[in-house]
Protein backbone atom coordinates (compact mmCIF):
# COMPACT_ATOMS: atom_id res chain seq x y z
CA UNK A 1 0.00 0.00 0.00
CA UNK A 2 2.60 2.54 1.10
CA UNK A 3 5.75 3.26 -0.94
CA UNK A 4 7.58 5.15 1.78
CA UNK A 5 8.16 4.37 5.44
CA UNK A 6 8.10 6.55 8.56
CA UNK A 7 11.48 8.25 8.98
CA UNK A 8 12.30 8.26 5.27
CA UNK A 9 13.35 11.43 3.46
CA UNK A 10 11.28 12.36 0.41
CA UNK A 11 11.06 15.31 -1.94
CA UNK A 12 7.75 17.16 -2.18
CA UNK A 13 7.63 19.20 -5.43
CA UNK A 14 8.06 22.95 -4.97
CA UNK A 15 8.63 22.49 -1.22
CA UNK A 16 11.82 20.45 -1.13
CA UNK A 17 13.02 17.76 1.21
CA UNK A 18 10.68 16.40 3.87
CA UNK A 19 10.67 13.57 6.37
CA UNK A 20 7.77 11.16 6.67
CA UNK A 21 6.75 11.50 10.32
CA UNK A 22 3.66 9.35 10.30
CA UNK A 23 1.24 7.38 8.15
CA UNK A 24 -2.37 7.57 9.28
CA UNK A 25 -5.79 6.39 8.18
CA UNK A 26 -8.78 8.73 8.05
CA UNK A 27 -12.36 7.92 7.23
CA UNK A 28 -13.66 10.36 4.66
CA UNK A 29 -17.25 9.85 3.48
CA UNK A 30 -17.14 6.27 4.76
CA UNK A 31 -13.97 5.38 2.87
CA UNK A 32 -10.68 4.71 4.64
CA UNK A 33 -7.89 6.89 3.20
CA UNK A 34 -4.21 6.73 4.15
CA UNK A 35 -2.01 9.80 4.45
CA UNK A 36 1.69 10.56 4.70
CA UNK A 37 2.48 13.24 7.26
CA UNK A 38 5.46 15.12 5.84
CA UNK A 39 7.62 17.43 7.95
CA UNK A 40 9.04 19.99 5.51
CA UNK A 41 12.72 20.64 6.23
CA UNK A 42 12.53 24.25 5.05
CA UNK A 43 9.62 25.47 7.17
CA UNK A 44 9.26 22.71 9.78
CA UNK A 45 5.56 22.59 8.90
CA UNK A 46 3.55 19.40 8.39
CA UNK A 47 1.74 18.54 5.17
CA UNK A 48 -0.60 15.58 4.70
CA UNK A 49 -0.43 13.86 1.34
CA UNK A 50 -2.92 11.11 0.43
CA UNK A 51 -0.89 7.97 -0.27
CA UNK A 52 -2.98 7.05 -3.31
CA UNK A 53 -2.24 10.53 -4.70
CA UNK A 54 1.48 10.65 -3.85
CA UNK A 55 2.67 9.69 -7.31
CA UNK A 56 0.41 12.26 -9.05
CA UNK A 57 1.69 15.10 -6.85
CA UNK A 58 5.26 14.03 -7.63
CA UNK A 59 6.35 12.83 -4.19
CA UNK A 60 9.66 11.03 -4.77
CA UNK A 61 12.86 9.81 -3.17
CA UNK A 62 15.79 12.26 -3.15
CA UNK A 63 18.25 11.71 -5.99
CA UNK A 64 20.93 9.05 -5.54
CA UNK A 65 24.38 10.06 -4.28
CA UNK A 66 25.94 9.46 -7.73
CA UNK A 67 23.37 11.82 -9.30
CA UNK A 68 24.79 14.75 -7.29
CA UNK A 69 27.81 14.97 -9.61
CA UNK A 70 25.55 14.60 -12.67
CA UNK A 71 23.37 17.44 -11.40
CA UNK A 72 26.34 19.75 -10.78
CA UNK A 73 27.81 18.84 -14.19
CA UNK A 74 24.45 19.56 -15.85
CA UNK A 75 24.32 22.92 -14.05
CA UNK A 76 27.69 23.75 -15.65
CA UNK A 77 26.67 22.74 -19.20
CA UNK A 78 25.49 25.15 -21.85
CA UNK A 79 21.73 25.49 -22.33
CA UNK A 80 19.24 26.49 -24.97
CA UNK A 81 17.75 29.96 -25.02
CA UNK A 82 14.55 30.20 -22.94
CA UNK A 83 11.45 31.84 -24.47
CA UNK A 84 12.07 35.58 -24.76
CA UNK A 85 8.55 36.57 -23.68
CA UNK A 86 8.58 36.45 -19.89
CA UNK A 87 4.94 35.27 -19.70
CA UNK A 88 5.65 32.24 -21.93
CA UNK A 89 8.85 31.59 -20.02
CA UNK A 90 7.11 31.86 -16.64
CA UNK A 91 4.36 29.44 -17.69
CA UNK A 92 6.90 26.96 -19.10
CA UNK A 93 9.07 27.19 -15.97
CA UNK A 94 6.07 26.92 -13.60
CA UNK A 95 4.98 23.70 -15.32
CA UNK A 96 8.49 22.30 -14.96
CA UNK A 97 8.73 23.32 -11.28
CA UNK A 98 5.50 21.44 -10.53
CA UNK A 99 6.94 18.16 -11.88
CA UNK A 100 9.37 18.05 -8.95
CA UNK A 101 12.11 16.72 -11.26
CA UNK A 102 15.32 18.17 -9.82
CA UNK A 103 17.04 18.20 -13.22
CA UNK A 104 14.19 20.32 -14.66
CA UNK A 105 14.40 22.63 -11.64
CA UNK A 106 18.19 22.90 -12.18
CA UNK A 107 17.59 23.86 -15.82
CA UNK A 108 15.28 26.67 -14.63
CA UNK A 109 17.89 27.77 -12.09
CA UNK A 110 20.49 27.94 -14.85
CA UNK A 111 18.23 29.88 -17.25
CA UNK A 112 17.06 32.40 -14.66
CA UNK A 113 20.58 32.89 -13.28
CA UNK A 114 21.79 33.71 -16.79
CA UNK A 115 18.87 36.05 -17.45
CA UNK A 116 19.36 37.80 -14.10
CA UNK A 117 22.93 38.67 -15.12
CA UNK A 118 21.66 40.22 -18.37
CA UNK A 119 18.70 42.17 -17.01
CA UNK A 120 16.55 42.60 -13.90
CA UNK A 121 14.04 39.77 -13.48
CA UNK A 122 10.35 40.37 -12.81
CA UNK A 123 9.25 39.89 -9.19
CA UNK A 124 7.71 36.49 -10.02
CA UNK A 125 10.81 35.29 -11.85
CA UNK A 126 13.03 36.48 -9.01
CA UNK A 127 10.94 34.41 -6.57
CA UNK A 128 11.10 31.42 -8.91
CA UNK A 129 14.90 31.78 -9.15
CA UNK A 130 15.15 31.79 -5.34
CA UNK A 131 12.81 28.78 -5.07
CA UNK A 132 14.71 26.80 -7.76
CA UNK A 133 18.02 27.56 -6.06
CA UNK A 134 16.64 26.53 -2.67
CA UNK A 135 15.28 23.24 -4.06
CA UNK A 136 18.54 22.33 -5.82
CA UNK A 137 20.83 23.34 -2.94
CA UNK A 138 18.75 21.72 -0.19
CA UNK A 139 18.43 18.40 -2.01
CA UNK A 140 22.12 18.31 -2.93
CA UNK A 141 23.09 19.18 0.66
CA UNK A 142 20.97 16.41 2.18
CA UNK A 143 21.98 13.74 -0.32
CA UNK A 144 25.71 14.57 -0.28
CA UNK A 145 25.64 15.19 3.50
CA UNK A 146 27.34 18.55 2.95
CA UNK A 147 26.57 21.96 4.39
CA UNK A 148 24.33 24.26 2.35
CA UNK A 149 27.25 26.73 2.31
CA UNK A 150 29.52 24.16 0.59
CA UNK A 151 26.79 23.20 -1.87
CA UNK A 152 26.01 26.86 -2.63
CA UNK A 153 29.67 27.38 -3.60
CA UNK A 154 29.63 24.32 -5.91
CA UNK A 155 26.34 25.42 -7.47
CA UNK A 156 27.73 28.94 -8.04
CA UNK A 157 30.84 27.53 -9.74
CA UNK A 158 28.71 25.35 -12.02
CA UNK A 159 26.29 28.17 -12.84
CA UNK A 160 29.16 30.54 -13.66
CA UNK A 161 30.60 27.90 -16.02
CA UNK A 162 27.24 27.54 -17.77
CA UNK A 163 26.83 31.31 -18.15
CA UNK A 164 30.33 31.66 -19.65
CA UNK A 165 29.71 28.78 -22.08
CA UNK A 166 26.35 30.23 -23.08
CA UNK A 167 27.82 33.70 -23.56
CA UNK A 168 30.58 32.29 -25.82
CA UNK A 169 28.08 30.33 -27.89
CA UNK A 170 25.90 33.43 -28.12
CA UNK A 171 28.84 35.58 -29.28
CA UNK A 172 29.90 33.01 -31.93
CA UNK A 173 26.35 32.83 -33.26
CA UNK A 174 26.28 36.60 -33.76
CA UNK A 175 29.84 36.87 -35.16
Do strands 31-40 and 46-50 pair parallel, antiparallel, or not at all (unpaired)? antiparallel
| Strand partners of residue 37 | 22, 48
**CATH classification at residue 46:** 2.40.10.170
pLDDT recorded at residue 175 = 56
What pLDDT, in 10s, does the model give residues 35-91?
999 999 989 999 999 999 998 889 999 999 999 999 999 999 988 888 888 889 999
Domains held by the chain: number:
2
**Owning domain of residue 97:** 65-174
Look at residue 102 and tell me if it is in a domain: yes
Distance of CA 75 to the CA centre of its chain: 12
Q: Which residues contact 42 (CB under 8 A, 6 or more apart)?
A: 15, 16, 17, 134, 138
Is residue 117 located within the same domain as residue 83? yes
Is residue 41 located within the same domain as residue 106? no
pLDDT recorded at residue 174 = 63
Residue 2 has pLDDT above 80, yes or no: no
What pLDDT, in 10s, does the model give residues 82-97?
888 888 999 999 999 9
Is residue 91 located within the same domain as residue 161? yes
Q: Are 134 and 151 in contact (CB under 8 A)?
A: no
What pLDDT, in 10s, does the model give residues 95-122?
999 888 999 999 999 999 999 998 899 9
Residue 173 has pLDDT above 70, yes or no: no
pLDDT recorded at residue 85 = 85
Q: Are 62 and 143 in contact (CB under 8 A)?
A: yes
Amino acid sequence: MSFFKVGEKVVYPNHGVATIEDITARHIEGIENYFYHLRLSATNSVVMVPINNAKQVGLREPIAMNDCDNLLKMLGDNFSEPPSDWKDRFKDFSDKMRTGDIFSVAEILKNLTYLSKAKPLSFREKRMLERARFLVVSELAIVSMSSEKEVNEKVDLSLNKACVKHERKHMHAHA
